[in-house]
A and B are shown apart, each in its own frame.
Chain A
Amino acid sequence: KAGVTQTPRYLIKTRGQQVTLSCSPISGHRSVSWYQQTPGQGLQFLFEYFSETQRNKGNFPGRFSGRQFSNSRSEMNVSTLELGDSALYLCASSFLSVDYGYTFGSGTRLTVV
C-alpha cells in the first residue's frame, strides 16, 4: 500500500514569504501529525489532526498553522518565514492512536534564505 506522501520534497523560500506543505496519509489513517527536525533542536512536535480537528499543538508561534481535509490529507502553513524556520518538516500518520506507532513521510526540506 502507498506510504505517507509529502510534497514538495525540497523548497527554497525568502525571508518574509509564506509556504504551504502538503501531506497525504496512508489510506485509512485518520490521524496526521507534523514534526520539525533541526540539528540543534532535534524533533519537535508541531500539531496533530484527527478527523479534521486539531487535537494537540506544540509550542510554536502562531505563524505555524495547519489543517486537515475530509479525505485526511493535511497541510501546514508557515507565514512570515524566518531563517530559523529552515528545517526538515516531517508528516506522520497513524490509524487511531500514537500507541500504534507512526508511519512517517520522507519530509519536506525547507530552506529560508
Chain B
Amino acid sequence: GNSVTQMEGPVTLSEEAFLTINCTYTATGYPSLFWYVQYPGEGLQLLLKATKADDKGSNKGFEATYRKETTSFHLEKGSVQVSDSAVYFCALSEVIQGAQKLVFGQGTRLTINP
C-alpha cells in the first residue's frame, strides 16, 4: 500500500537556523502531497500542498517541491522562529474508486530555541 516516511525526530534548532525535514513516499499513481502542522493541544493545520510533479507548495516561509524522480517532498524554511515549534506531518492523498483518505508519516517534532 501507499506509505510516507519522515525524518526521525525530534529536531532541535536555534532561531534563524535553516530547516529541512525529509519526507519520502511510496505510492501507485500520482498522489497529491501535503505538509500539515500540529501545535500543542490543537488539531492539524494544512501548511502547504502540491498536486503534481515539480509543483512547489509554499506558505509562511515554508516550501516543499514535489519530486517524482526521487519520490520526495522535503520541507524547508530558510530562517526558523520560536513560533515554528510544533509537530510536522507529511501526507499523501489516496483515492481508489472514489474511496479517499490521507496517509500520514509518523510526524517530526520540531523545537526552536531562542
Contact = CB atoms under 8 A, between A and B. Distances in A.
Given A55-B98, A98-B95, A103 B104 contact: no
A104 B49 contact: no
A104 B45 contact: yes
A101 B43 contact: no
A99 B101 contact: no
B100 A48 contact: yes
Interface residues on B, range: 20 to 34
Interface string A1-25: 0001010000000000000000000
B112 interface: no
A104 B89 CA distance: 13
A105 B42 CA distance: 8
Contacts of B104: 42-43
B43 A106 contact: yes
A58 to B, nearest CB: 7
Contacts of A102: 44, 46, 102
B32 interface: yes
B43 A98 contact: no
Contacts of B106: 42
Given A45-B102, A48-B101, A56-B100, A97 B46 contact: no
Given A33-B102, A102-B102, 16 more contacts: A42-B106, A43-B89, A45-B101, A48-B99, A48-B100, A55-B98, A90-B43, A90-B44, A97-B95, A97-B100, A98-B32, A98-B101, A101-B46, A106-B42, A106-B43, A107-B42
Interface of B: 32, 34, 36, 41-46, 49, 51, 89, 93-95, 98-107
16 contacts: A42-B107, A43-B102, A43-B104, A55-B100, A56-B100, A90-B43, A90-B44, A92-B44, A98-B32, A98-B102, A99-B32, A102-B46, A102-B102, A104-B36, A106-B42, A107-B43
